[in-house]
């Protein structure tokens, strides 16, 4: 594996008397799509929020040569682009203006009057998410799948080296799920480190370079899909088995309740 760009050591988040995540450690390089999986309540969302600096955490997070705790809010926002779960826009803003919000960490506060560098970044994000024909449409008029691509384009417009996406394919139909995962994969191939929380083990097996498996707030496996989604790990984490095959050179994994 390439040199680590994002490292966690002994990362933990506590709420009252309960550890939401505890003693989580890993090293991840840029150019890598990492799926974060685990049963409900395993700590997946908490992990992403801790990395983004949105909850208090203990332990150490390093980004490149920097300790994340020493970064200002703006510096952290430039390094971590975060797509929260269930992201929604309730105002009839044009798609282009919503995507332009991703340039706020760079100091661009007026979507209607973007400096050239910011306008070009927004254009690249719109093109990557295939939203060119919708750029002037109010986002409130779009379908659920289209809104999901707008939300992801806003994150891509940050052009941060790390993208954190929390269940970006939830409630989407199969075509949009594939489109969003392919876009995240392309973003990783472009040099970003992408962490995506998903409950779809089949898409994790197909698209991820690396998988982090959480259970009860602890990291129980970290590695390529072939290892992290092994029968032993699935049985331990989810109490399930799986049907495994290959199609067009890609792995196929279908969760199956063990007899």
Question: Model confidence over 158-202: pLDDT tens digits?
Answer: 999 999 999 999 878 898 899 899 999 999 999 999 999 999 999
Identify whether the C-beta of residue 139 lies closer than 8 Å to the C-beta of residue 148.
Answer: no
Question: Which CATH number is correct for 6-87+160-256, 3.40.1670.10, 1.10.940.10, 3.40.50.300, 3.40.50.720?
Answer: 3.40.50.300
pLDDT-based confidence at 86, cuts 50/70/90? confident
Mean pLDDT of 94-108: 95
Domain boundaries, the chain: 6-87+160-256
What global pTM score does this model have?
A: 0.94
- Return the C-alpha torsion angle 148, 96, 120, 80, nearest 10: -40
Burial string for 49-82 (b: 16+ CB within 10 Å, else e) reads bbbbbebebebebbbeeeebeebeeeebbbbbbb
pLDDT top residue among 258 and 221? 221
DSSP 8-state class, residue 3: P
> Average of pLDDT values for 73-95?
90
Where are the alpha helices (H) located in 142-173, listed in sequence order? 144-157
């Amino acid at each position: 594996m390439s040199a680590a760009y994002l490292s966690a050591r002994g990362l933990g988040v506590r709420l009252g008397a309960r550890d939401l995540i505890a003693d989580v450690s890993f090293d991840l390089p840029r150019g890598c799509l990492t799926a974060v999986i685990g049963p409900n309540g395993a700590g997946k969302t908490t992990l992403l929020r801790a990395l983004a600096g949105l909850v208090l955490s203990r332990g150490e997070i390093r980004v490149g040569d920097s300790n994340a705790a020493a970064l200002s809010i703006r510096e952290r926002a430039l390094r971590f682009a975060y797509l929260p779960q269930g992201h929604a826009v309730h105002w009839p803003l044009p798609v282009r203006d919503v995507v332009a919000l991703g340039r706020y960490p760079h100091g661009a506060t007026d979507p209607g009057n973007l400096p050239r560098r910011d306008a070009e970044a927004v254009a690249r994000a719109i093109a990557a998410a295939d939203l060119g024909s919708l750029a002037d449409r109010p986002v409130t008029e779009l379908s659920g799948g289209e809104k999901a691509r707008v939300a992801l384009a806003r994150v891509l417009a940050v052009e941060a080296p790390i993208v954190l996406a929390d269940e970006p394919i939830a409630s989407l139909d199969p075509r949009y799920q594939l489109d969003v995962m392919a876009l995240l994969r392309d973003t990783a191939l472009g040099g970003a480190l992408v962490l995506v929380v998903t409950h779809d083990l089949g898409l994790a097996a197909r698209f991820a370079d690396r998988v982090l498996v959480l259970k009860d707030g602890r990291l129980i496996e970290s590695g390529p899909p072939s290892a992290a989604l092994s029968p032993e790990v699935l049985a331990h984490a989810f109490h399930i088995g799986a049907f495994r095959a290959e199609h067009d050179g890609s792995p196929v994994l279908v969760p199956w309740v063990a007899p």
